[in-house]
Amino acid sequence: MLKQKMMRVYIYCVLILTLSITGCSQAAQPAAQPAQGQDSKSSAPAAIASIPELKIGLPGDAGLLNFYSGSSSYDYLTELVYDKLFSPSPYVETPQPWLAESAKQIDPLTWVVKVRSGVKWHDGKPFTAEDVKFTFEYYRDGPPNRYTHHMSEVPRVEKITLDDASTVRMTCAYPCPTLDRITLADLPILPKHIWEKVDNPRKVTDLPIGTGPYKLVDYKTDQYLKFQANDEFFMGKPVVGSIVMPIIKDPTAMFNALRSGEIDVAGRSVSPELLDSFKKLPNMKVIKTSELSLAEIRVNYEKEPFNQPELRQTLSLAVDRKSITDTVLLGMGKPGLKGYPHPDSPWTNPNLSTPFDAEKSKELLEKLDYKDRDGDGVRENQAGKQLDFSIKVASTEPTWIRSAEMLKQQFAKVGIKTTVEVLDSGTIGTLSQSKKYDMYISSIGPHGVADPDQFIMSHRSGYLWTKGLAYPEMDKLTEKWMAESDVEKRKKVSFEMQELFNRQPTSIVLFYPDQNFAYRSDKYDQWVESLGFGIIHKYSFLPAEARKAATGAK
């Protein structure tokens, strides 16, 4: 009895000392940085104080987290409920085993994965290798979603078998050297006992069942989502008991709610003009993270004259990205001078360059025989047709509208006339499929700009290119990429593909925005950054030891 009392006193003292040290370190640097430093370097990470509830404002309705009907914009919410074999994502250098204990490549086409034992689904059923086999076959053979190409095409996993009750064997149609680092780090695992009964996954309306640290226990359309901690989570009991996420679509309302204490953190990046004011508020902190997203000009490469690679190059050269970034983001981001994909991804060629060179743009236009034949400042082709285009932009995105106005001026300097059309966001969302546009401004997130397999798929999906449309240079490199069985050699081929793309882009990158998350430090100050997810993700709510996976640190 005496020993137990002494032990309780000892634990209490250690906790007080830990909280004191944490408080001192947070005063000197952003909260996300101490957590990463402790996790990556310490063999005994400091304990994290638990809290009963946290309120996070969401900028949109994520629905029931059904990734057959939802958006990849809410991957960070889906992963509160579901887990993957490796974590946190394909966006870090070295994803760590999660639901998998290990993954071993047997030959260029074959991988063997050992899954964890003792893991349970939220309904108490045991997680098994059968769930993994079922999930991957469901993605490959069933209705498409944003994950399916990792099984059906890039790469193509032809055969999935069970060696035993805890071992999955996968055989690819062509070499798949990065299966563990990309595919297994991206695909959430589904419970077979539930999903094998689902005929149409897009019509699922039940609350999701996963193995993750949180259960979605309540949802009201356009009002809120509520999550409850899974106390039996295999990586440790979450330190936040309940997470309530009110849906606040209006940015002004979102930040007013944060100021007043109605929410504890905003799930929307603080706009540049508000940043200084939030940094000065008492009990408020701001963490700057890499968003792994970019703002882009989508060019209709199937339409004359944009089907000319050289013309797309002239457009890219005419864009003064630094001027746009400095003006519309007030410097809170990087100009898109490295082009596509995102330069912070470990899979991106570090030597990419998309410079601003108006004089070279004019020279190329002259070589293409686009000249100002009537002296009105706008170039025409030989038939007298002007280079006169529209740039469409969503009314809900003021920084994009300002960017479009600046682009109009920049294109005019090389003899290209543009008209800015401001449309509702719903109409903008249909343009990719309808192809009824010249150019429009959009954005693309981590899955599109940091996943190397998705870069290949984007050239087959109608986004960066359309499968079957002639592109012999890219097709040749794609064949070379698919044949390569060595990770580093394959990466070099992808670097060549990225260079080719940026010479004649169908997506002209404007800027890579920063994310600035504002939160109430008096309520919760244990956030950790995970590349591409910011700070709002499951690793921020897990015990210290489990947080290592957030950064991919071994």
Compute the distance between CA of residue 301 and CA of residue 308 in angstroms, rounded to an integer: 8
Maximum Cα–Cα distance across the chain = 98
Distance CA 90, CA 25 (A): 30
Identity at 148, one-letter amino acid code: T
Pairing of strands 507-520, 294-299: antiparallel
Percent over 70 (pLDDT), the chain: 92
**Each residue's pLDDT tens digit, 219-234:** 999 999 999 999 999 9
CA-to-CA distance for 86 and 65, rounded, in angstroms?
A: 20
Model confidence at 8, pLDDT cuts 50, 70, 90, reads very low
Bridge partners (DSSP) listed for residue 97: 86
Tokens standing for residue 314 = 């002239």
| Bridge partner list, 245 | 225
Residue 267 predicted with pLDDT over 70: yes
Residue 15 confidence (pLDDT): 34
pLDDT of 30: 34
- pLDDT band at residue 107 under the 50/70/90 scheme: very high
Instruction: Give the type of residue at 463.
Output: Y
> Phi and psi dihedrals of 216, rounded to 5?
-80, 110
Rounded to whole angstroms, the Cα distance separating 61 from 328 reads: 27
- Total length of the chain: 554
Q: What share of the chain has pLDDT > 90, as a percent?
A: 85
How far is Cα 148 from Cα 170, in angstroms, rounded to an integer?
A: 15
Instruction: Give 279's pLDDT tier (boundaries 50, 70, 90).
Output: very high
- Could you identify the residue written with the tokens 């999550």? 227
Amino acid at 52: P
pLDDT, residue 46, reads 64
pLDDT at site 190? 98
Q: Could you tell me which residue, 216 or 31, shows the higher pLDDT? A: 216
Across 278-299, average pLDDT: 95
Q: For residues 373 and 403, what is the distance between their CA atoms, to the nearest angstrom?
A: 29
Q: Which of 6-20, 77-91, 100-114, 373-387 is the least confident region?
A: 6-20
Distance, in Å, from the CA atom of 153 to the CA atom of 457, rounded to the nearest integer, reads 8
Q: Give, as one character, the DSSP assignment of residue 100.
A: E
Q: Is the pLDDT of residue 65 over 50?
A: yes
Average pLDDT (372-396) is 96
**Distance between CA atoms of 336 and 334, rounded to whole angstroms?**
6
**Residue 545, pLDDT above cutoff 80:** yes
Instruction: Lowest mean pLDDT of 42-46, 282-286, 462-466, name the range.
Output: 42-46
CB atoms within 10 A of CB 47: 16
State the pLDDT at residue 59.
93
pLDDT at residue 49 is higher than 90: no
**257 C-beta neighbours (distance < 10 Å), count:** 18
CA distance 151 to 168: 14
Higher-confidence position of 33 and 448: 448
Burial class (CB in 10 A: 0-12, 13-18, 19+), 4: exposed
pLDDT at 48: 82
What pLDDT does residue 554 have?
63
Given a cut of 80, whether residue 4 has pLDDT beyond it is no
Asked if residues 313 and 363 have their Cβ atoms less than 8 Å apart, the reply is no
Whether residue 309 is predicted with pLDDT greater than 80 in this model: the reply is yes
Query: Please, what is the average pLDDT of the chain?
Result: 91
Burial class (CB in 10 A: 0-12, 13-18, 19+), 20: exposed
**Predicted local distance difference test score (pLDDT) of residue 69:** 82
Average pLDDT over residues 522-527: 96
User: What pTM did the predictor assign?
Assistant: 0.88
pLDDT (0 to 100) of residue 254: 96
- What does the pLDDT read at residue 39? 34
Q: What is the pLDDT of residue 18?
A: 35
**Mean pLDDT confidence for 326-331:** 92
The tens digit of pLDDT for each residue in 164-196 reads: 999 999 999 999 999 999 999 999 999 999 999
* 34 has a pLDDT exceeding 70: no
Residue 291 has pLDDT above 70, yes or no: yes
pLDDT at 45 over 60: no
